Chain A
Amino acid sequence: MAFEKDFNLDVTELRLGLPGTSEESEKQASTTLRISNKRAMPDMNEDSSVAADKKCDQETAPPTKAQVVGWPPIRSYRKNSLQTKKTEAETCGMYVKVSMDGAPYLRKIDLKMYKGYPELLKALEEMFKFKVGKYSEREGYNGSEFVPTYEDKDGDLMLVGDVPWEMFINSCKRLRIMKGSEARGLGCVV
């Protein structure tokens, strides 16, 4: 599929711009970040605009309940076993949380279970009951109601499919299925 190919780093200058964002703030965004060929959302910077802040609030998952001592009642030994497994899995970058805008709960998947993007997308579609449109390098998932994105090791928001699969599973920290309207600009060549 189209997104399996390596992309030409020089030709594509990748930046995220929200509808209505000025050229200036975009430039600001790209200069405060490390030089990279990645897209960045303005609200990932310290200089985020008010609009971006509001957006952040919406993105935040429901606040985690304070953990109660000794609950659920699981023996320390088993608890420690789980923690070890969790830490191991997380440092390997295999288990990632998946959230979808509008859904109250997250899911967790093991990226190692999938051989490539088609399998992953199919699994996400089944999990969250949505359909993703056709991907193209130029236009991303143009026309989709929902768009799969992910947060990588550097904290940048990326479109699922833009980088080769191996690079993706090694750098993906968290998946987020965004509303198509909000993802406009992700994946657009300026």
Chain B
Amino acid sequence: MESSELKRSKDSVNSCESARRSSFPDEVLERVLSLLKSHRDRSSVSLVCKDWYNAERWSRTHVFIGNCYSVSPEIVARRFPRIRSVTLKGKPRFSDFNLVPENWGADIHAWLVVFAAKYPFLEELRLKRMAISDESLEFLAVSFPNFKALSLLSCDGFSTNGLAAIATHCKNLTELDIQENGIDDIGGSWLSCFPESFTTLEVLNFANLTSDINFDMLEKLVGRCKSMRVLKLNRSVSLEQLQRLLVNAPQLAELGTGLFSQELTIREYEELESALSNCKNMHTLSGLWDATGMYLPALYLACTHLTFLNLSYAALQSVELAKLLAHCPQLKRLWVLDSVEDKGLEAVGLNCPLLEELRVFPADPFDNEIVHGVTEAGFVAVSFGCPRLHYVLYFCRQMTNAAVATIVQNCPDFTHFRLCIMNPGQPDYLTNEPMDEAFGAVVKTCTKLQRLSVSGLLTDLTFEYIGRYAKNLETLSVAFAGRSDWGMQCVLGGCPKLRKLEIRDCPFGNAALLSGLEKYESMRSLWMSACNVTMNGCRLLAREMPRLNVEARGGMPHHLSLLSEMLGTRQTENY
């Protein structure tokens, strides 16, 4: 990439030189460019000419690597000498659903070793779907004296011992954010490893962990960290303990409660209500495990300025939700379980006119006998009441083409449309037709669409629509859909901005796979599993595209993952 850039910029060097001589010292350019935050803008800037490329690389302090195998840590360190903050993503998204083999890779350690040498002043590390061991966490904790922020989302390979190392050694820690990881929760003693003199924590999220922590230590920690703005507790923290914490931390902007279910006296209830309502800055509320109608009213006064409410761990009924939402007029983001049913979603439509994001998760997804959850009616009701809706994740048991057409007519600004009809390959339940027209309506109407997940019975027509109309689509997820290679070919031949394509259990084969050769160069990744691709097809692809990292597993490859922009080498392990 570097060499081709130099070649390209040869022509512009002269013009750059003359411009430089006339007005622009490097320092000024660097200063200006340091204000650029978006990594895409920075990418564009770096392509202008050699001077701008250099100014950009010297002024960049944060690097985002969407695919840890697309580039080696050495190359990153060579290009960007002044990095303070790194975001890395590893495994394909389907690893969240157990579709990726164990020990696939995406281990952080090699990166940490390079960073320790090249970025001794590293402050932030944010990892998603990476493997990280306790040894790596300990290495991190002792190698970077300025280390401030650690965020681990959907990672695995570590235990609470690793967290203990972080708490013990990172004297300047401001953020410890441990979310939804495959963590080995040995015990809660890690929290007690923060030294008594430690006061800098601003973000603490251990909601993911199940073990009891020492509440006294937590209370003291929260009490002395006066800048704390995000606190997300785990289930082991009771309502009464929550009240004690809040009394000392009314400045909190984001709160994740512990278990929201306990026998409280009237006085304890009132104290809790008062402590909650004193959090005048609170805009995000989550946790609420096992919350029932009984104590939800304690939240009412605290919800006035709430913009994000995450109820996805509280199986509320529709009436309880309706009562709560009446107190949340500013809500922009709402996550719920489908226990609220369509009636609950009607209440959303009635009470939350500013809503931009809705996620409805299934409370009982694996019990096929149960009639549960939400239908198209709930989604339609929300669309009528919430015209600003642009992000939806919706798990439902039935849907119709007509309903989706109505929904996108009401809400044409969708950027993220993720619909999961839970029974694979299910048609429109009223007409028995495929759901092609539903997704056709989505891509035709929602011109800003960036992310789409399709489901239900779908023919190749759906993919014709997507290829033709989804001009801004970057991420597409497909499962149990399509009829022939033609479907996938349409997507690869259209969708100019496609970056991530993940496909499972679809009848797409080698012809489809090989039709995307040009496309793969501009994509981050392709995942195919349980499709009709063969090992020979993969070999052919790898031969045609030597710069792509092609991995295939199994005789008839069950897993094929395609990672583009291979500038480093992927260490192959024996599966």
Contact = CB atoms under 8 A, between A and B. Distances in A.
A59 to B, nearest CB: 13
B384 interface: no
B479 interface: yes
A5 B162 CA distance: 59
Contact of B97 (A65, A70, A82, A105): A70
Interface residues of A, number: 26
- Looking at B97, B182, B361, B364, the one whose CB has the most chain A CB atoms below 10 A away is B97
A68 B97 CA distance: 11
Nearest to B369: A106
Given A71-B424, A73-B97, A74-B362, A65 B368 contact: yes
B117 interface: no
A81 B290 CA distance: 11
Interface string A128-169: 000000000000000000000000000000000000000000
Interface in B345-378: 361-372
A73 B529 CA distance: 14
A54 interface: no
Interface string A63-106: 01101111111111111011001100000000001000000011
A74 B361 contact: yes
A75 B154 contact: yes
Interface in B207-221: 208
Contacts of B372: 107-108
B98 A69 contact: yes
A77 B179 CA distance: 9
B371 A106 contact: yes
B362 A72 contact: yes
A132 to B, nearest CB: 20
B371 A75 contact: no
B174 to A, nearest CB: 25
Given A72-B365, A86-B364, A105-B370, A77 B97 contact: no
Interface in B136-182: 154, 180-182
A127 B4 CA distance: 68
Given A70-B97, A71-B424, A75-B154, A108 B370 contact: yes
B205 to A, nearest CB: 13
Nearest to B94: A70
A160 to B, nearest CB: 20
B364 A73 contact: no
A73 to B, nearest CB: 5
Given A68-B424, A77-B180, A78-B361, A97 B98 contact: no
A19 interface: no
Contact of A82 (B290, B365, B371): B365
Given A64-B369, A81-B313, A97-B369, 12 more contacts: A71-B97, A72-B365, A73-B97, A73-B479, A74-B97, A75-B180, A76-B98, A76-B182, A77-B181, A79-B365, A105-B371, A107-B371
9 contacts: A65-B423, A70-B97, A70-B504, A72-B362, A76-B96, A76-B97, A77-B154, A81-B313, A82-B365
